[in-house]
Amino acid sequence: MNKTWNESVRGSLKNANDCNDYFDNDRFQDGSFPIKVPIEFAKRIDKSNPLDPLLLQILPEEAQSTKGFIDSPVYDEEFSPVKGLIHKYPTRVLLISSSVCAIHCQYCFRQNFDYDDNDFLNNWADIENYLSKRTEINEAILSGGDPLTLSDKKISKILEKIESIRHIKTLRIHTRTAVVIPSRITEELIATLNQTKLKVVIVFHINHAQEVSDEFVNNIKPLRNLTLLNQSVFLKDVNDDAKALAELSYKLFEASILPYYIHLLDKVTGAERFLISDNQANKIYTTLQNIVPGYLLPKLVRDEGGESKRLVI
């Protein structure tokens, strides 16, 4: 019998011992950002390749103390007028809907975020008050953590709350869970997303074509009537190659997902080894421009905290 997504979450590799046993090596060490790897993602890693692009994303390395790398590189806290809500752009707000992720990406910009007291449902009265007074806000973004680590019932409840703010027309969901545990796309979730009166945009987080399984492509088919986008992080030794990025773009397109953003690394402490220089990123991006058509070219951006994301090229 197939595992449910909850069983997949519970059965994840959760520490260095689990990983060293699974991958039959001794490269994993527990660090400040705990290891978490669903078996579905681990299975997509080539155990014989020490430089596998998926393996490198989950392999912790000792944090260095490097100038410019800080605990909160996008300054979320400075843009949180109410607990559980981040308001950086005039027309949209980000709601912290979960403190949990299905996988721990070792370059995560929010790995030091203080999730305590920041669950938006626990702060709904204040958030509702804040949103009601600002009719220019037309989009709510569910982020975290990862909103798809919540139960279908909770997601349904969240949608009801957002629908009750009449000037919010669009719901955006940022998720990596769907690709690392494809069984997360349940029938109940599909029904909820297809029935809401909100316009739904799902932004997946996929960095490499190797992450995209047949199961994922198949399971998201009933969501094709929604807007499906992808954002990646530009990561040294993972996807710093125009051909690899082009392959990802084409694979996404086959799944009816359009490449949206490729983010330069947010300089969070511990992620130093993933940094690509601006110069190198521009070179790779220019080559990518010559390979893929414009509609398969993600925008190269840097999040500088506040104001709009800055286009780099």
- List residues near ligand SF4 by CB under 6 A: 101, 103-105, 108, 110, 146, 176, 205
CB atoms within 10 A of CB 20: 15
For residues 177 and 185, what is the distance between their CA atoms, to the nearest angstrom?
9
SS3 143: strand
Using alpha carbons, select from 105, 104, 98 the residue that is nearest to residue 144.
Answer: 98
Q: Closest approach of Cβ 285 to ligand SF4, in Å?
A: 21
Q: Closest approach of Cβ 134 to ligand SF4, in Å?
A: 26
Nearer to ligand SF4, 18 or 146 (CB): 146
Helix axes 242-254, 278-291, angle to 10 degrees: 50
Nearer to ligand SF4, 179 or 226 (CB): 179
Q: Closest approach of Cβ 181 to ligand SF4, in Å?
A: 11
Question: CA Rg, the chain, in Å?
Answer: 19
Nearer to ligand SF4, 22 or 115 (CB): 115
C-beta of residue 171 within 8 angstroms of C-beta of residue 199? yes
Q: Closest approach of Cβ 219 to ligand SF4, in Å?
A: 18
Nearer to ligand SF4, 176 or 184 (CB): 176
Nearest-5° angle of CA 129, CA 131, CA 132? 65
Q: Closest approach of Cβ 107 to ligand SF4, in Å?
A: 7
CA 240 and chain centroid, separation: 18
Nearer to ligand SF4, 101 or 264 (CB): 101
